[in-house]
Amino acid sequence: MQLLFKENLARIGKFKTDHGEIETPAVMPVINPNLNFLSERELKDLGVQAVITNSYIIRRTEKLRDYALKYGVHRLINFQGPVMTDSGTFQSYVYGDIEYNNKEIVDFQKNIGSDIITILDIFSRPDDGYETAKNAVYETYNRLNEIDIGNKIIAGPIQGSIYPDLRKISAKLMSKAPYLPIGGVVPLLESYRYDDLIKIIINSKVNADFSKPIHLFGGGHPMFFAFSVLLGVDLFDSASYIKYAKDNRVLYTEGTRNLKEIRDFPDWSPLFGRYKPEELLRETEKIRLKELSKHNLKAIFNEITEIKERIYENTLYQYVEEKSRAHPSLYRAFIEMLNSNIDNFYNISLKSPFYFYDNHSLKNPFVKRLIEFTFKYINNSKKCVILNHKYWRAGVPTADSVKEFYGSNDYNILVQWNNIFIPLELEDTYPVSQSVSSNIIDRDYQTYFISELKKINNDIIFYDDSITYDRKVRDYDHGKIDAVFKFQFNCDRSLFNSSDFIVRSKATGHIRNILRDSKILATMRNDGFFTLSIHGGSALQKIKEYPMSRVVVTPDSGEFNAKDFNVFFKFIKDFDENIIAGNEVMVVGENDELYAVGHSTVSGTEMKSYREGVAVKVHEGINKL
């Protein structure tokens, strides 16, 4: 799997099959080999890259079996792009045991030329007992081991019912397979148990090999696509487009409507301007089925297009937050996601602003990092002074009087930001000034937050004009760069010292460069974090309690990285697992010789999995020294 664009766990990527590349996120429409009424041209015009069909149905139907063995599955279903075949697992779940074993059905899929071949796994039901689900996990893994994977794309489904530890075990075991569907979720989707599904996806994704495609089996309704993609799902299959068409149901991204109850089709529909709903109802069943299927597929791929654009813009989280209000079950899923421990997979910052709606926004990982740092920041014997909105406001340059007050004492200075209190020095650091707020103030929550702060440091007061100051004990700009560095690198010691020279932008007044001996150590970006120069990387490397920000590469790679070339995953020998995606890293050799500085494209946890693509985008190589 090659990574193209990323927002936290969501990604746009691509992987190769024998019949072409698939760019993810993607949906594979289910093609019934007995009922294939849409041409390849029609499918591709709607956005289809790949399809899925059922090898069990093909094998047990003599006419289909003989044709597929002679001419291949692509010719059988009239689709020359990538074709995935299912194994009959779902039929086994619905109807009981099937007449073929795992090896037989896998060999059959190979013989008919399937691009992605699925083993005959054991379907785990949500109501299965623990031992039943556990046996299914290990039997599915045994069946994967029966198969000669070779150079084939074998799908090894992750099972484990609703049990987090079993999903974790299964994800680790099945990562031996090149392609990883999450199985056993259709009953949860059908009953709108999206909060349980959130837990299943997370436990499957974060314990699987990140370099491999994750497929949500049966996750074909677009109302849950964005949630799934945000948590790392790459592919879906969908039979909903035709199932709904058979019932005269019209699919939209937020739900379905009955054909009899709508006035007109939306302008994006292939039916707009061609049919009125009442006209389509008068058509033959065959025509109506085809036309509604095309509309439903268009709805599905509209949502996929929107999700891709959101990932590129870094606004998918916002999109999910918006969609969570479309249905109570989705809102419950969103709250479950907020309470999940996936903070380590979030980038250091995003291109898009942070939206603050209410106190649920405080559970966003970007805000949780701020809160965690604030507790560390005040964990000393110093008095804490809080500035309210009368003296400080996010996005507005700090007044000279505030800087003067800051410089005249050694207090911990906190400022009110939405319903929490954070260090003044982080005024320009994402997401503080890069935010759009509802400005809904919750005094009760602020009181609660202050009580939590007092558990760390009880000496907290609000600033008022009666507090006097008349001596200079520190410099605001140096205090600011020290705090930002410690926040960015999760380090107790700063890279900078009081003699470093700070350069401000003449146009905006914001800090731009930090120099030592006339050499730039770091540049402050628009998101308020630092980009390191090679001099800054060299200084960082010398800190005794250095931040865990190293990527170790081979000597051959190091020679190129020293010349400003990017680091590719395949040349990485080791790395620090606490690396945050988008944060600055040092590119070093096995003896800690510095080659370059740059920013990581993925977190340290993910870095161990990828084999293709750029791991570190290098800013500057050591040859510049």
Return the active site residues.
86
* Cα 311 from Cα 327, distance rounded (Å): 23
Between CA 307 and CA 62 the distance in angstroms is 41
Measured distance CA(291)–CA(37) in Å, rounded: 10
Helix H or strand E segment including 57: helix 55-60
Classify burial at 448, counting beta carbons within 10 Å of its beta carbon; exposed 0-12, middle 13-18, buried 19 or more: middle
In angstroms, the CA 303 to CA 224 distance is: 10
Determine the angle formed by the axes of helices 164-174 and 130-146, rounding to 10 degrees. 0
Backbone φ and ψ for 505, nearest 5 degrees, come out as -70, 130
Within 10 Å of residue 117's Cβ, how many Cβ atoms?
27
Locus of tokens 């009368």: 390
Task: List residues bridging with 381 in a β-sheet.
Answer: none
- 553: its two tokens: 């590469």
Helix/strand/coil (H, E, C) string of 272-315? Answer: CCCCCHHHHHCCCHHHHHHHHHHHHHHHHHHHHHHHHHHHHHCC
Dist. CA 94–CA 277, nearest whole Å? 34
Classify burial at 219, counting beta carbons within 10 Å of its beta carbon; exposed 0-12, middle 13-18, buried 19 or more: buried
Q: Which long-range contacts (CB under 8 A, 24 or more apart) does 441-449 make?
A: 442/358, 442/359, 445/359, 445/419, 446/416, 446/419, 446/420, 446/421, 449/419, 449/420, 449/421
Residue with tokens 């980009």: 531
Q: What are phi and psi of 598, to 5 degrees?
A: -170, -170
CA distance 383 to 413: 9
